[in-house]
Structures are given as C-alpha cells and as structure tokens.
Amino acid sequence: MVAIVTGDARGIGGQIAMAFAAEGADIVIADQLDEAVAAPVAASIGASGRRSMFVHTDVSDEYQVRAMVDRAIAVFGQVDILVNDAGTFSQLAFDQIDVAEFDRVLGVNLRGVFLCSRFAIVGMLERGSGIVIHRVAAGTDRRWVSDSRETHRWDRDGALQRQQGRSDRLDQGACPRGVDQRASGSTRSRRGRFSRI
C-alpha cells in the first residue's frame, strides 16, 4: 500500500502520514517545505518499518505535481491513497487582500487539490481501486480563509464523484472537524483524540 500525503512535512499532515505508515503504508511526503523539516516524520515512518520518500512539491504547480506522482509510481510501483492535506490561508484582513494573495491561497487550496487528484487517480482508475481523502478544516476563527471546505463543495458534486462510476472502489473521505492544528507531539481534536484514519 502506498500513500501520498500532501503538506505532511509536519503538523497534521505528518501525523496522518505516520498513522498510515503504522497501518502498513509506504509514504510519499509531498511538501513545499525543506526536506530537513520532514526529517522527524520520515524517521518515524522508518521506525515503523515502512519506507518514505520526500518530494519537494508546490501543489499549485501542474508540472511539479505531475512529476511528484510520476516519481512515486517509479519508486513504489503505484499509488493507492491520496490525502490532500496541503492548505494555506491569508494572514491579512479581508480588505487588505489583493488578487495575487487571493490567487495564492486558492492555488494551494483549490487548484492544488484538483491537480493532485487529477494525476493520482489515473492509476487508481486503471486498477479499479483507490482512495482520495480531502482533509476538511472546520470550526475556524480565522478572519478570512479559503480552505478545503470549498474544495469539498466543488468536488462533492463534481468531476471526481463522477469517476466512481468507472471504479468499484474510488472513495473519498474527510477528517473530523475541530482538529487542533497547533498540536506537535500528537494531533488532537476538541471531540477527542484523532489517532487514525
């Protein structure tokens, strides 16, 4: 089993990657941060007896995403699971946001999910099985945010759902709401500890 987790160099994404490794998956760590930041996650995956590979990836860049998926297949043979965890938001007040900042946020949170899903599902459809998970942020008190909730609404009634007609097992999911993204040693939820997907 091979899982790509975007934005998993640290934080929630790192915890998701380690949880999948604990369940027997090899992990592709796809993140825009430096590889050194992902070293603790990679070490934990290795300690669980699984393999990991870091691929520096800007999920808003079509060519980088395509190259990341191609490299994952070249090294591990296939991709069984995609977790779209990479996300960002603006630190600016709404009336201070310009078009470039708006495009930056949507580039990661919407275009990034489209690109990763678009290229990862090709092999899934060919095999007739695969899982795509969108991590949904909820319960936020941010002043302005465009996160994976928007992607979920776009995708729920859109193209990826229609692909299920071509596969017996092409599923989607979302993590529980209320996750504390500041957690470092563990990933916690206000409704209980989130330990496994």
Within-domain flag for 71: yes
Within-domain flag for 156: yes
In contact, 168 and 129? CB cutoff 8 Å: yes
Burial 162-189 (b: 16+ CB within 10 A, else e): ebeeebeebebebbeeebeeeeeeebbb
* Residue ranges in the chain whose pLDDT is less than 70: 136-197
State residue 99's pLDDT score: 97
Pairwise CA distance, residues 128 & 145, whole Å: 35
State residue 78's pLDDT score: 97
State residue 30's pLDDT score: 97
Within-domain flag for 16: yes
State residue 50's pLDDT score: 98
First vs last C-alpha separation in the chain: 14
Burial status of residue 138 (CB atoms within 10 A of its CB: 0-12, 13-18, 19 or more): middle
Pick from 53, 88, 85, 48: nearest CA to 69: 53
Within-domain flag for 194: no
> Which residues lie closer than 8 Å to 89 by C-beta, 6 or more apart?
105, 109, 142, 144, 145, 146, 147
Within-domain flag for 11: yes
State residue 166's pLDDT score: 53
Within-domain flag for 81: yes
Pairwise CA distance, residues 24 & 45, whole Å: 10
State residue 135's pLDDT score: 82
Read off the pTM.
Answer: 0.76
Within-domain flag for 197: no
If you search the block for the tokens 């991709």, which residue do you land on?
Answer: 79
Within-domain flag for 196: no
Name beta bridge partners: 27: 3, 52
Tokens representing 182? 């500041």
Length of the chain (residues): 197
SS3 5: strand
Q: What is the domain count for the chain? A: 1
Domain that holds residue 119: 2-189
Name beta bridge partners: 172: 132
Which CATH number goes with the domain that contains 169? 3.40.50.720
In contact, 23 and 3? CB cutoff 8 Å: no
